Amino acid sequence: MIMSESMQVTDRERGLIVQGIVVFKCGGSSIDELSEDFFTNIKSMKEAGMKPVIVHGGGPAIEELLDALDISYEFYDGLRKTTEEMMDIVEMVLVGNVNPRLTRRVNAYGLNAVGLSGSDFQLLEATPINYERYGFVGEVASVNVQVIHSLLADGVTPIISPIAIGQDERRYNVNADTAAGAVATALLAKQLIFVTDVPGILKDGELLEEVTTTDIEGYIADGTIYGGMIPKVKAAMKGLTSHVREIMIVNGKKSELKDTTTLAGTTISVPVEASSR
């Protein structure tokens, strides 16, 4: 996972830990397809005591604008190399379009949301991964947890764009999966949920509610997990860290509640023997 192992966490050392935080990662391609049930289910979870935080992407919209402006780009290791010119486009799309659009939808369901760029309040501070190779693509070095805690304490749902600020005062584009994992780790989140267009991992047409990373390796090898599901699962597994031991894959198009505080989907965890090392 592209995230600093020494990532600093504001407030943890002061003993301030907010319980019941759930971090949702919404991919840019799925935002416009999120169902009414998805938002009402999040509202139900919030009313049951959960505290939602949403981190979103926007890759398809960024590529669409880059293509429209005839700006060429390259991918290395799955990351788009981002020049300073492209950074203006990335910020314009994520902060000026995707974020307010999603925030309006969340507010329409009474979730009392506010849209934020990761550069606001130095919410996400980043360092470049490898400037020569990736340009202005960063990894999260620290998360300003105090800001998020304050919003959650006031009943506000933060909607975060993965634009980070560096100590050099430059903006950095952070992969949304990575940003969501960093935020979940910093907040000691109860759950990190990847919102997709599938119900979870299926085997013989039946939903697998709980699997381990070892199970997944076997399911990929035997063909149970195949095609477009493989990158979805691998992206989700990057969210597993020493502090986030379980993640979920859920369906944003046909959302269901498993119980008052949990969405239906597949929970992926690290095997007990591996997590005890």
Q: Residue 145's pLDDT is what? A: 96
Among 155, 133, 198, CA closest to 2: 133
The pLDDT value recorded for residue 9 is 42
pLDDT by residue, tens only, the chain of 277 residues: 333 444 444 444 444 557 899 999 998 878 889 999 999 999 999 999 999 999 999 999 999 999 999 999 999 888 899 999 999 999 999 999 999 999 999 999 999 999 999 999 999 999 999 999 999 999 999 999 999 999 999 999 999 999 999 999 999 999 998 899 999 999 999 899 999 888 999 999 999 999 999 999 999 999 999 988 888 888 888 888 777 888 999 999 999 999 999 999 999 998 876 555 5
| Two structure tokens written together for 134 | 């990736």
Superfamily of structural domain 8-275: Acetylglutamate kinase-like (3.40.1160.10)
- Spatial distance between the Cα atoms of 58 and 221, rounded to a whole number of angstroms: 31
Phi and psi torsions of 161, nearest 5°? -85, 140
CB count in 10 Å sphere of residue 99: 23
pLDDT at 273: 64
Question: Considering Cα of 151, then 53, then 120, then 165, what sign does the dihedral take?
Answer: positive
142-182, pLDDT tens digit by residue?
999 999 999 999 999 999 999 999 999 999 999 998 899 99
Burial class of 128 by CB neighbour count within 10 A (0 to 12, 13 to 18, 19+): middle
Q: What is the pLDDT of residue 277?
A: 52
The residues that bridge with 105 in the sheet, in sequence order, are: none
The pLDDT of residue 274: 56
177 vs 169: CA distance, rounded Å: 23
Q: Can you give the chain as a three-state secondary structure string?
A: CCCCCCCEECCHHHCCCCCCEEEEEECCCCHHHCCHHHHHHHHHHHHCCCEEEEEECCHHHHHHHHHHCCCCCCEECCEECECHHHHHHHHHHHHHHHHHHHHHHHHHCCCCEEEEECCHHHCEEEEECCHHHHECEEEEEEECHHHHHHHHHCCCEEEEECEEECCCCCEEECCHHHHHHHHHHHHCCCEEEEEECCCCCEECCEECCEEEHHHHHHHHHHCCCCCCHHHHHHHHHCCCCCCCCEEEEEECCCCCEEECCEECEEEEECCHHHHCC
Query: How far, rounded to the nearest angstrom, does the alpha carbon of residue 139 sit from its chain's CA centroid?
Result: 14
| Amino acid found at 8 | Q
Contact status, residue 240 vs residue 247, Cβ threshold 8 Å: yes
pLDDT in tens, 246-258: 899 999 999 999 9
**Would you list the domain boundaries of the chain?**
8-275
Residue 43 has what pLDDT?
A: 96
The predicted structure's pLDDT at residue 66: 95
CA distance 3 to 247: 16
What count of Cα atoms within 13 Å lies in the side-chain half-sphere of residue 276? 3
pLDDT at residue 55 in the model: 97
Residue 272 is predicted with a pLDDT of 72
- Residue-wise pLDDT for 118-141, tens only, equals 999 999 999 999 999 999 999 999
